[in-house]
Structure 1
Amino acid sequence: MVKVIVIFSKFIATIVGSMLLAVGINAFLVPHHLIDGGIIGIALILHYYFHVQTGMTMLFLSLPICLLAAYYEKAYFLNSLEGLLVSSLFIDLFSPIRSQFHATTLESALLGGIIIGIGVALMLKYETSTGGTDLLARVISKTTSINIAIIIILLDGLIVMAGFALFDLKSFLCSCLAIVIVAFITSSIVKNEG
């Protein structure tokens, strides 16, 4: 019975966390061409320039990382795969809300960062995630003994620098703000709840 409750709780956390992620991305980041870190950031850059679906792109970009992780971290791979599939689906399903909110770029960076941070933290609290660079960082950390936080910062930093080369200064700075807020909210909630 306890195992059923744990599985159900993880499923609900994945659904709610993915919905929050989808709202944060579609309602606040996309309308102002802001990016997030990780695979989501790469998927957003590709969306802005090639008009591809963000969630589907995120899924395709994450699959090779998931296959690599399956070799090193089977349990975490399965949890991340579930989170990846659900969040990718919700990001694309929620795309119609992109024109529903009318916030400034700064307000969107703040609100988007908060909402995405809560969604990511909820998923992490129940040991699931969207996979992507966090999963890659986990594998690299495990195989090299480099601190996972340093690896995540380096990977996200590369993606943000790509954003700097592609976007105007305002979008770049607001994207950096959103990423910092996501990290702060996520670490605060996971630390306080863990």
Structure 2
Amino acid sequence: MRVFRPYKDYFFELAFKIPWIFIGAMMAAVSLEVILIPHGLIDGGITGVSMMLSNIGGYPLSTLLFILNIPFLILGLKFLGKRFAFSATFGIVALTISTELLERKTPFLVGNTILILIIGGILLGMGIGIVIRNGGVLDGTDVLALLISSKTRLSVGEAIFVINIFIFLFALLLFGWKGALISIITYFIAVTVVDMVRS
């Protein structure tokens, strides 16, 4: 019976963590679909790439989120283990479903750029932080950030920001300097909140 005890403990732990992962995913989806996207702002990571591809090609964001994150889930499985891969998959699926449910919802905070920047960044950071704190991720680049953080002095939030520099440079070409700059500031707020929530 002792052989099964670790699995029993693991499933008990999952029963506690999964609701929090879903809550974090929903918070991030609200930030994306209701605040950031309607105002021409983007997230970082695979989510940001998905948002840009959705903007260019008109593809559903939820579909792109799922497909583009698959290679990173495989990476997580290889280097971070089966338990992490399961939680990561649940987090990304939860974000996919949440964005699908919230697509085409009426935006709010229209015209108040500073309020959009602050609330969007805080909500996104809280969502990501809650998910990471409970063993999951919402984006494939979070997997890379966790690996980088484990090998360097960078925090997870700092690693996420470094990875996303190139994505925001592309956003500069797509959305212009104003949209890209606001997106960078919003994301800087988000990654700061990520480190606060997960610590």
Please give the TM-score of this superposition, normalised by the length of structure 2. 0.85
Match of 1:172 in 2: 180
Report % sequence identity.
Answer: 23
What SS does the corresponding residue of 1:96 show, helix, strand or coil?
coil
Task: Quote the Cα distance in structure 2 between the aligned partners of 1:60 and 1:170.
Answer: 29
Task: Quote the Cα distance in structure 2 between the aligned partners of 1:152 and 1:184.
Answer: 10
Deviations 1:124-153 (A, max 9, x none): 1111111411113334666xx345546433
**1:106–1:45 Cα change, 3 Å:** farther
Task: Quote the Cα distance in structure 1 between the aligned partners of 2:162 and 2:94.
Answer: 26
* Count of aligned pairs between the two proteins: 188
Match of 2:95 in 1: 87
Deviations 1:92-132 (A, max 9, x none): 211132x2414223322221111111111111111111141
1:7 pairs with one of 10, 14, 18: 14
Query: 4+ residue stretches of structure 1 with deviation over 6 A?
Result: none
Aligned partner of 2:193: which letter?
Answer: I
Task: Quote the Cα distance in structure 2 between the aligned partners of 1:160 and 1:100.
Answer: 23
Task: Quote the Cα distance in structure 1 between the aligned partners of 2:190 and 2:177.
Answer: 20
Aligned partner of 1:27: which letter?
Answer: V
Match of 2:36 in 1: 29
Task: Quote the Cα distance in structure 2 between the aligned partners of 1:64 and 1:118.
Answer: 25
Stretches of structure 1 that go unaligned for 5 or more consecutive residues are: none
Stretches of structure 2 that go unaligned for 5 or more consecutive residues are: 1-7
Task: Quote the Cα distance in structure 2 between the aligned partners of 1:184 and 1:139.
Answer: 18
Match of 2:104 in 1: 96
1:70 pairs with one of 77, 80, 100: 77
Decide whether the 8 Å contact of 1:141 with 1:147 is kept in 2: yes
Decide whether the 8 Å contact of 1:34 with 1:109 is kept in 2: no
Match of 1:106 in 2: 114
Task: Quote the Cα distance in structure 2 between the aligned partners of 1:117 and 1:85.
Answer: 18
Match of 2:52 in 1: 45
Match of 1:137 in 2: 145
Match of 1:184 in 2: 192
Task: Quote the Cα distance in structure 1 between the aligned partners of 2:190 and 2:15.
Answer: 26
Please give the TM-score of this superposition, normalised by the length of structure 1. 0.87
